[in-house]
């Protein structure tokens, strides 16, 4: 087990070193990005709110000529209730109609993190911050007005032009709003449309 761990550390170091050399020769630019995410809820709230989605923006600031960037983000995350998939049918004389019931648990996450390009366009990242409860009334969804949130992920950056002035990051993320007794968590696919500043 120790040999495998040492091998993984050596391999990671070699990949990082090669990536650092690449970015020393190709200085990255700061970027602003707009994102959409869609996923499935996991954990304590997944039974009541199985669908997870989000929108927002991100600012990526490279750390000098390195494969490391500081990332700042803010957005809107919402979980859709199970009821949105359960229509009820009513009949009034010869007419009928369907009515869909649903509720949405809404949060505004504000995070900061680190993004590391391991092999040119392949990256890993980790963000953490605070999630604001914007539900009305808030007690219907959670007793926490604010909560710690973290979201690790990994993905690939696809260039959209020859000058590499815009790109799309596609990543798989796990996000967890930490609360006593469990919180709102999701596994999601996120797409970020980035533009160089």
d(CA 151, CA 135): 21
What is the tally of structural domains in the chain?
1
Q: Is the pLDDT of residue 188 over 80?
A: yes
The pLDDT assigned to 89 comes to 47
Lowest-confidence segment of 158-162, 168-172, 190-194 by average pLDDT: 158-162
pLDDT surpasses 50 at 99: no
**At residue 169, does pLDDT exceed 90?**
yes
Average of per-residue pLDDT values in the chain: 82
pLDDT for position 136 = 76
pLDDT of residue 19: 58
For the record, the structure tokens of 173 come out as 């993320």
Give the confidence band of 24 by pLDDT, cuts at 50, 70, 90.
low
Query: Of the candidates 70, 62, 66, which has an alpha carbon nearest to the alpha carbon of residue 20?
Result: 66
* C-alpha dihedral sign at 21, 25, 30, 31: negative
At 5 the pLDDT is: 64
What CATH number did the domain enclosing 80 receive?
A: 2.40.160.20
Quote the domain boundaries for residue 107: 2-196
User: At residue 38, does pLDDT exceed 80?
Assistant: yes
Query: What is the CA 60 to chain-centroid distance, rounded?
Result: 14
Report helix, strand or coil for 17: helix
What are residue 165's phi and psi, to 5 degrees? Answer: -90, -10
Which pLDDT tens digit goes with each residue over 110-139? 999 999 988 878 999 999 999 999 987 666
pLDDT band per the 50, 70, 90 thresholds, residue 87: very low
DSSP 126-165: EEEEEEEE--SSGGGT-S-SEEEEEEEEEEEEEE-STT-S
Q: Chain-centre distance of CA 8, in angstroms?
A: 26
């Amino acid at each position: 087990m120790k040999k495998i761990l040492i091998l993984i550390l050596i391999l990671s170091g070699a990949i990082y070193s090669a990536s650092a050399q690449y970015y020393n020769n190709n200085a990255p630019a700061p970027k602003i990005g707009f994102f959409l995410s869609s996923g499935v809820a996991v954990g304590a709230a997944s039974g009541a709110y199985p669908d997870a989605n989000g929108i927002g923006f991100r600012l990526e600031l490279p750390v000098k000529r390195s494969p490391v960037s500081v990332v700042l983000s803010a957005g809107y995350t919402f979980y859709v209730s199970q009821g949105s998939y359960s229509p009820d049918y009513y009949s009034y004389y010869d007419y009928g109609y369907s009515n869909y019931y649903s509720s949405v648990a809404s949060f505004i996450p504000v995070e900061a993190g680190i993004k590391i390009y391991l092999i040119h366009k392949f990256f890993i990242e980790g963000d953490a911050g605070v999630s604001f409860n914007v539900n009305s009334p808030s007690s219907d969804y959670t007793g926490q007005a604010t909560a710690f949130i973290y979201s690790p992920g990994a993905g690939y950056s696809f260039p959209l032009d020859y000058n590499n002035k815009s790109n799309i990051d596609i990543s798989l993320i796990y996000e967890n709003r930490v609360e006593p007794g469990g919180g709102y968590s999701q596994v999601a696919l996120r797409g970020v449309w980035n533009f160089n500043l």
